[in-house]
Amino acid sequence: MDTASGNINVECIELLEDAVDSSVEQLFKTLEGQHPQLGLDWLLNLSRHALEVGDRAIVLVARGSGSDMAVVPLKLSANGSAHALGNFYTSFYQPGCTAAESLPLYTAALRHLAKDLRSDSLTLAPMDAEHDTFNSLQRALAEAGWRGVHPYFCFGNWIHNTDTNDWDSYLRTRPSRLRNTLSRKTRKLLRDERGALSIITGGGELEEAISAYTAIYNRSWKRDEPYTEFTPALIRLAAERGWLRLGLAHYDGKPIAAQIWLINGRAAYIFKLAYDGDYSELSPGTVLTAHLLQHALENDGVTCIDYLSGDDAYKRDWMSERRERHGLAAYNPRTVRGLAQLCWHLLKRTVRRDAD
């Protein structure tokens, strides 16, 4: 569906059905260079394997004069709500724009969502609230007729930026408790050659590594995967794209810990980790993290390690900086349900203000 807003045309692309032209592909390529979760490959994999029944994966494309264009990937739910195209696997979301002035393009896209697609509510998350895109989207929502626009906190994001690729130099900056634990547990795991560490990037070992990861995950403390095909498909995609660093720890020939790291540009993203609780006394997760981190620094030459989402206490031992991810929420007064949600939001805000 194409609509016009002034001299801006808005197109709604059904991501799993419609073709994506070269200009849209190029913009997503640029976004992918900033973070793998912003790229078209990631969004397609998520759309194929990690949506609920009735969800639609779309991209709103707003085109202005010349090559000016904005893309806003969204998930439309059967209940009338709209969300950033993502779910709990998603640790970063950001629409993209080629224009020097993004506000008119984002406004046109979000007006189309409210007026033509009739979505009742919208959440865009998780985003960097300090980025210009966040501020532009917040203004665009208001100008497009959305009401009750407000930011909200999502989670902490621990990272480590480094100007050295020397493992020993990095390790000296870490707490002595971690260094001592790592030294002791590495010796214990590898003693008498009972333990082994490996990093899989693709090739003939890939499917066996996926099976090992799945087996470890199923024996770990983590909740069952609701979308069982998403992670194996991501591992294959990452291997194809050259991103994959799948770390495995074995003990007595049995896989006991696994971690999925993605290398994109000069950044390493720690996406998934799991270990078999029966071997917790060996701290295989800690030992494997060190093995992958050393490889990322010395072999991949990364300058940033990103733990993605969550404020887990162990992350601050490895990382040196905490950022935050925030979201934007808004309601559409053009629909009955959206108006009701807006009134409820305003009522709750009034009650909280009065309580303070």
Residue-level pLDDT at 2: 59
Q: Say which amino acid occupies 126.
A: P
Question: 316: how many CB neighbours lie within 10 A of its CB?
Answer: 16
Distance CA 261, CA 294 (A): 12
- Cα separation, 251 vs 154, whole angstroms: 37
pLDDT at site 122: 98
pLDDT digits (tens, 9 = 90+) for 299-337: 999 999 999 999 999 999 999 999 999 999 999 999 999
Instruction: Write the CA distances from 235 to 26, 90, 239, 242, 257, integer angstroms.
Output: 23, 15, 6, 10, 16
pLDDT given at position 47: 98
What 3-state DSSP class applies to 21? coil
pLDDT, residue 157, reads 97
The pLDDT tens digits of the residues spanning 8-57 come to 999 999 999 999 999 999 999 999 999 999 999 999 999 999 999 999 99
Q: What is the mean pLDDT of residues 91-95?
A: 98
350 half-sphere exposure, CB direction, 13 A CA radius: 6
Q: What is the pLDDT of residues 191-227, one digit of tens each?
A: 999 999 999 999 999 999 999 999 999 999 888 889 9
Alpha helices in 39-83 (DSSP H): 40-49
SS (H, E, C) 247-314: EEEEECCEEEEEEEEEEECCEEEEEEEEECHHHHHHCHHHHHHHHHHHHHHHCCCCCEEECCCCCCCC
Tens-place pLDDT, residues 155-183: 999 999 999 899 999 999 999 999 999 99
Q: Is the pLDDT of residue 1 over 60?
A: no
- The rounded percent of the chain whose pLDDT value lies above 70 is 98
Backbone region of residue 242 per phi and psi (left: phi > 0; alpha: psi in -120 to 50; beta: other values): left
The token pair at 277 is 């609780």
Domains of the chain: 2-155+324-355 (3.40.630.30), 163-302 (3.40.630.30)
Span 101-124, pLDDT tens digits: 999 999 999 999 999 999 999 999
Q: How many residues comprise the chain?
A: 356
Tokens of 29: 């390529």
Under 8 Å between Cβ of 148 and 330: yes
pLDDT of 3: 63
Mean of pLDDT over the chain: 95
